[in-house]
């Protein structure tokens, strides 16, 4: 019977050494104890595509309003997204009124959200989805709307809970390091105190440079479910590359911080917008899957092309991203040929290999062997994630070649063939041989 990707992770006879290997990659820190986001969250987020468009008079289909979020909720529910795991509909900045109400609570803009956030939350929940909202730990949001100051943390957390909100993204504009150091943990406690499970996205590290000693990833893993580490993504390939480079350069710091319930967030998927080619769109999706990144699309689901939809709804790619082991992948190699190799260990002895071209000239034929990538003795089933084809079985020391398009990727899902009741290792970067191509 042909090997199918759906059976890739079914291998119950795991070598005990693989368990040790997996544990070596896990973090010793404790995640936020709300039981949420045990795999990277998936959904849709307004910011990159729709920004702070509040001109509903002249641009009614694109302005930040309850109708935009209802439209996107309908698309997630009706176009096959929800069943794949895309369940969050997330409001970003510019949703609120410029004034709090007489009790000091945040309130939505009455013209653009006339029904109010509670009714929008019910609309979203009725479609089997979850609603996320945006706040800012400062005097104002980045867009100039009322922020959450230290004295309003508790009332804002309770307001969001009363409204039926399922996730909070807390930004850090118009604040400082002292306020953030107190405020981000304070909001975590306040959300837990409401009794409603509300996932918590912290932008804190992005405002402190993303790295120790200013950023304490042990603490972040204890108070937040995910966090923005770096700059906002823009609708351009250069922006994607900048983010990938920063995460790869600092992977030894970032990778151990991630795991079930606590995720590094390289920001939104911009697939289906204006800045990426088809090859670059595949590359972003594959790289985000390798990085165990949250998958929040920021695009217009109403006008999405079939090509973009196919990338974003690739079931095997999503399966890799959602792997329950929750280990963030790494960049293994940067070749002189400008080919880069990324690797991620997965459950049940499986692994993902990504061959990524930084070239801009023509397709490049890249040659290597699994043994040069840290894979141990054995035979491996190989599934090509984008072509959907099962490849010939590879022996660890057998050289292979792949043709990679400019700014494109080839992504493999590998599973060791069980021999005498044991599965072979999926590779260990500490065993990596030097290889310059």
- pLDDT of amino acid 184: 98
Fold topology of 5-24+328-431: Immunoglobulin-like (2.60.40)
Q: Which two tokens stand for residue 208?
A: 């402190």
> Is residue 232 flagged as an active site residue?
yes
Q: Where in the chain is the domain with CATH 2.60.40.1180?
A: 5-24+328-431
Residues of the chain with pLDDT under 50: 1-31, 423-425, 428-437
Rounded Cα gap, residues 428 and 248, in angstroms: 17
- pLDDT of amino acid 33: 74
Q: Give the contacts of 238 (CB within 8 A, at least 6 positions apart).
A: none
316 contacts 84 by C-beta, under 8 angstroms: no
Rounded Cα gap, residues 178 and 73, in angstroms: 38
> Is residue 238 flagged as an active site residue?
no
Alpha-carbon 62 to chain mean position: 24
- pLDDT of amino acid 432: 36
Q: Where in the chain is the domain with CATH 3.20.20.70?
A: 28-321
Q: Which residue in the list 232, 235, 242, 384 is annotated as catalytic?
A: 232
Q: pLDDT tens for residues 70-97?
A: 999 999 999 999 999 999 999 999 999 9
Span 28-321: which CATH code? 3.20.20.70
Q: Which residue in the list 93, 171, 265, 300 is annotated as catalytic?
A: 171
Q: Give the contacts of 288 (CB within 8 A, at least 6 positions apart).
A: 266, 269, 295, 321
Phi, psi for residue 158 in degrees, rounded to 5: -70, -35
- pLDDT of amino acid 419: 63
């Amino acid at each position: 019977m042909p090997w199918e990707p759906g059976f890739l992770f079914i291998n119950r006879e795991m070598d005990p050494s693989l368990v040790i290997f997996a544990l070596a990659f896990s973090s010793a820190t404790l995640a936020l104890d709300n039981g949420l986001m045990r795999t990277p969250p998936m959904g849709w987020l307004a910011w990159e595509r729709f920004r702070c468009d509040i001109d509903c008079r002249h641009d009614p289909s694109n302005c930040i309003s309850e109708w935009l979020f209802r439209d996107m909720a309908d698309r997630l529910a009706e176009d096959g997204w929800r069943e794949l795991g895309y369940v969050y509909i997330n409001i970003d900045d510019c949703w609120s009124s410029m004034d709090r109400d007489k009790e000091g609570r945040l309130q939505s803009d009455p013209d653009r959200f006339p029904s109010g956030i509670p009714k929008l939350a019910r609309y979203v929940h009725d479609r089997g989805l979850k609603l996320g909202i945006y706040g800012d730990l400062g005097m104002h949001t980045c867009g100039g709307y009322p922020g959450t100051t230290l004295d309003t943390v508790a009332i804002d957390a309770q307001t969001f809970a009363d409204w039926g909100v399922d996730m909070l993204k807390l930004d850090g504009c118009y604040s400082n390091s002292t306020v953030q150091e107190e405020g981000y943990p304070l909001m975590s406690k306040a959300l837990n105190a409401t009794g409603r499970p509300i996932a918590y996205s912290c932008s804190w590290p992005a405002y402190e440079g993303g790295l120790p000693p200013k950023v304490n990833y042990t603490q972040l893993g204890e108070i937040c479910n995910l966090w923005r580490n770096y700059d906002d993504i823009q609708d351009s390939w250069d922006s994607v590359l900048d983010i990938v480079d920063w995460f790869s350069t600092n992977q030894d710091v970032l990778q151990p911080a991630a795991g079930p319930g606590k995720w590094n967030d390289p920001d939104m998927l911009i697939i289906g917008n204006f800045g990426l080619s088809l090859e670059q769109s595949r590359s972003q999706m594959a790289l985000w899957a390798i990085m165990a990144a949250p998958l929040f699309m920021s695009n217009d689901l109403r006008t999405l092309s079939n090509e973009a939809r196919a990338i974003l709804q690739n079931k095997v790619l999503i399966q890799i991203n959602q792997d329950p082991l929750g280990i963030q992948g790494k960049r293994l190699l940067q070749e002189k040929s400008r080919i880069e190799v990324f690797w991620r260990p997965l459950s049940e002895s499986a692994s993902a290999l990504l061959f990524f071209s930084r070239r801009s000239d023509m397709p490049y034929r890249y040659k290597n062997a699994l043994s040069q990538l840290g894979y141990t003795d054995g035979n491996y089933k190989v599934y090509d994630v984008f072509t959907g084809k099962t490849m010939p079985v590879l022996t660890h020391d057998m050289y292979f070649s792949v043709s990679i398009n400019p700014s494109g990727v080839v992504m493999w899902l590998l599973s060791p063939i069980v021999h005498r009741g044991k599965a072979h290792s999926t590779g260990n970067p500490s065993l990596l041989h030097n290889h310059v191509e």
